[in-house]
Structure 1
């Protein structure tokens, strides 16, 4: 009888202490994050954004059930600066990555490290571009910035022979076929594996497309646009129209391929029943001028370059009716905002704004302007092609920039959405220009940005540049020896 009594007491203790395995309720569990980052997709592209040329049914559908942050800005619209700010929550003059192909300090407090320290599984697939040791070079785990699952390469735009490294293995692999599809398939495998685990996860899927070369999407997508009438933006000059049309056919083909794969990744979230508690983001590192104002690619302060899509699908917090936010979300704001939505404490090193309570509808944003800049022109926009340093602000209505010689551009984006009428020096807008210039000066003081010539910052950070004032990218192995081309 005594033995039975003891057994009863032991069972009771286990029951009361809840020693049995139990699943954490969705109300208590931290959200997963699936962050799709594409390269050079401007905010004006996509069916949901009003682009008559685009075929993006999945992303359009996603926009219809998501929070659309329609004033998202790439504060320094180039690949490496954006990615370094995304990963650190800092501005380029703080982390030092204001040019492509330089290293983000491995001691930096990064998004991957913070989530890993807070119990998250962390994964990164695709284009990295903040290692600075060569675009095809092996990146050891000590430079993965907190990401444990790793199938990445520093940078490639050879989408049909796309190389990558797995974890800490120094042997280069090649994705089978078009890398957007293969990387998405790998992301789906990751999601299905981690969906039923107790630990939340954060997964970045970083795609190189639709960045040029434009004519390299799979044939079925290129055929969709080969005979399609392409409607150009009003700010494409007559002499650039033929080239712009041909370029856009390939650009939209890459977009259509990305759209199919975004749909498949989204389906994996619904199939595994984790969509409700997953922050699913679709965005880009910067835009693409694609002939607008007679220019191509990025770096410049025009809307086609600095504005990016930013769709955030998080049913638990935002529902599924679809909504629009007008916050001025800049690149350094993304990390603190994600951490806020995840109920993870933000490190003091971050300089960006946590908009999580604003997006939840519990606060109003008091931010009236955000900073855009080019610290040092390089690469596709060198000084020989008109490249120059600038600082500027974007407000809900205006874009104002100053170069080293003074006021440069002022656009009323409400009345002049194609930015065809530069108001700098216009007597009717003298007061507006002075006001915006004062707001820019205040923001620069807050950022301790003295707006020096770019080469002063190059010297400060000891970057080695070539005759075009660009950091030349190189391919080196882990020991610092040149790689031999295969």
Structure 2
């Protein structure tokens, strides 16, 4: 069966005319040749896909990763049956860009969401579109953050319903663009009628997800459950979870300055409380898959859009190239194809790699628009990563919490299995040997003993920038290309 998409190419009212030559023109035109075969009745049913997407959950803060203070028993059990992508990386570590990369398999300068609260093109070919065309039921629950606008501010788009034509292939719909008021959290349904989740929103969202699984167990389905926590505010988890950490002396990462210890411990107590609450939700989703008999034939992913510095390096929030900001959890469970034995994959894995990897596992053809890599050969052991291959790190335009006034700057970099190497617009900026210096406390950039390694990493970075058509211009250039205005607080002049 030939799959046809009726998405009109780059409508004037959704993105500026200049995007056409820069973004999706060739991949979209190539879709006419994209063939997808319907499964024959004798073939096994396609696997379900469930993606649990959290907001601002860094990779270091789960029990299975070695954190003995945060309580994540359900995730630890999940990890015992999953492939743990230990070096999963949020390439542009902030909300909307990461979410757009997850859904499109593209890097931010290709899909255009390199600045929060700007719109993912309606014409983008997403995981929802592809799965729907392959016969999947599709559902999305929770935070969206891809319906931005071309206005200079974002408040209206964050509180408005998402039109049906901008839902990117998802039919079942219980979604709000962006809120962090988890105890009075709204959503819109398919008819754009506004409701409130009951109590702490993640619990009610999980209940809805369980019902969706039960109602769709007979057919292949794609379900994204997108939680707002553990993103700050950190002191708003249910009381019973906050009390778990109230009297605990939180151990801090060695790269948190002594002057910030009190603030860091308070933030982490609330952060961990959100995490333990979400851990319960993951357990309920796993139980629903077992109860309905579809667990073995379900690809289950647990991940996040980015991490949080939480005072490491003296920094807060995200967008930054340090591990606390860029590294995210990524567990992949698919018993029918991968078994139930815990495995760890050390190869650096970026958010654009998620879509092609999931489609490959589901035996659904990957569209030509995708830039990410299919990691199934690495999971199976058929391919090996070279030592200097890495995940791309980028910040085309520093904004909002890390705008120019707050010290933000444009950068490009690589996170390999061993090194972190980053350039800013002035030249080499950071180089860490993460094996010898796991908390990134010694910058080796431009030191004679590491110049050979630095040059090799720079060569690899330049190769990746060429492959992704990234010319590393000042942020103003990309805003002009896409017709995006500066947010008033971000303008550098």
Q: Tell me, yes or no, whether TM beats 0.5.
A: yes
Matched, 1:152 2:175: yes
How many Å apart are 1:365 and its aligned residue?
4.3
How many Å apart are 1:370 and its aligned residue?
2.0
How many Å apart are 1:24 and its aligned residue?
6.6
Distance in 2 of aligned mates of 1:400 and 1:259:
33
Q: How many residues end up aligned between the 2 structures?
A: 445
How many Å apart are 1:361 and its aligned residue?
3.4
In terms of mean alpha carbon deviation, does 424-433 or 357-366 score higher?
357-366
The 3-state SS of whatever aligns with 1:280 is: strand
Q: Would you say the 8 A contact 1:383–1:468 is kept in 2?
A: no
Q: Which residue does the alignment assign to 2:325?
A: 305
Deviations 1:222-279 (A, max 9, x none): 0001101100000000111100000011000000000011001100011111110100
Deviations 1:44-79 (A, max 9, x none): 001111112200000011111111010111000000
Equivalent of 2:260 in 240, 243, 257:
240
How many Å apart are 1:360 and its aligned residue?
3.0
Aligned runs of 1:280-319 on 2, under 5 Å?
280-319=300-339
Of structures 1 and 2, the larger Rg is shown by 1
Q: Which residue does the alignment assign to 1:252?
A: 272
Q: Which residue does the alignment assign to 1:359?
A: 379
How many Å apart are 1:426 and its aligned residue?
1.2
Distance in 2 of aligned mates of 1:365 and 1:225:
40
Q: Which residue does the alignment assign to 2:22?
A: none
Aligned runs of 1:29-68 on 2, under 5 Å?
29-68=45-84
Distance in 1 of aligned mates of 2:146 and 2:370:
18
Q: Would you say the 8 A contact 2:389–2:460 is kept in 1?
A: no
The 3-state SS of whatever aligns with 2:159 is: coil
Distance in 2 of aligned mates of 1:264 and 1:99:
34
**What is the TM-score with the length of structure 1 in the denominator?**
0.90
Equivalent of 2:197 in 147, 156, 175:
175
Deviations 1:424-462 (A, max 9, x none): 121111111111111111211222211000011011111
Distance in 1 of aligned mates of 2:170 and 2:385:
32
Distance in 2 of aligned mates of 1:360 and 1:193:
33
Matched, 1:205 2:225: yes
The 3-state SS of whatever aligns with 2:45 is: coil
Matched, 1:125 2:148: no
Deviating beyond 4 angstroms after TM superposition, the runs of 4 or more aligned structure 1 residues are none
Q: Which residue does the alignment assign to 2:399?
A: 378
What is the aligned-residue RMSD (CA, Å)? 1.5
Q: Which residue does the alignment assign to 1:3?
A: none
Q: Which residue does the alignment assign to 1:261?
A: 281
Equivalent of 2:477 in 443, 451, 456:
456
Q: Which residue does the alignment assign to 1:10?
A: none
Distance in 2 of aligned mates of 1:293 and 1:310:
24
**Contiguous gaps of at least 5 residues in structure 1:** 1-22, 472-486
The 3-state SS of whatever aligns with 2:401 is: coil
Distance in 1 of aligned mates of 2:311 and 2:134:
45
Distance in 2 of aligned mates of 1:395 and 1:155:
32
Q: Which residue does the alignment assign to 1:273?
A: 293
Distance in 1 of aligned mates of 2:327 and 2:344:
15
**What is the TM-score with the length of structure 2 in the denominator?**
0.88
Distance in 1 of aligned mates of 2:298 and 2:491:
39
The 3-state SS of whatever aligns with 1:135 is: helix
Distance in 1 of aligned mates of 2:489 and 2:482:
18
Q: Would you say the 8 A contact 2:53–2:226 is kept in 1?
A: yes
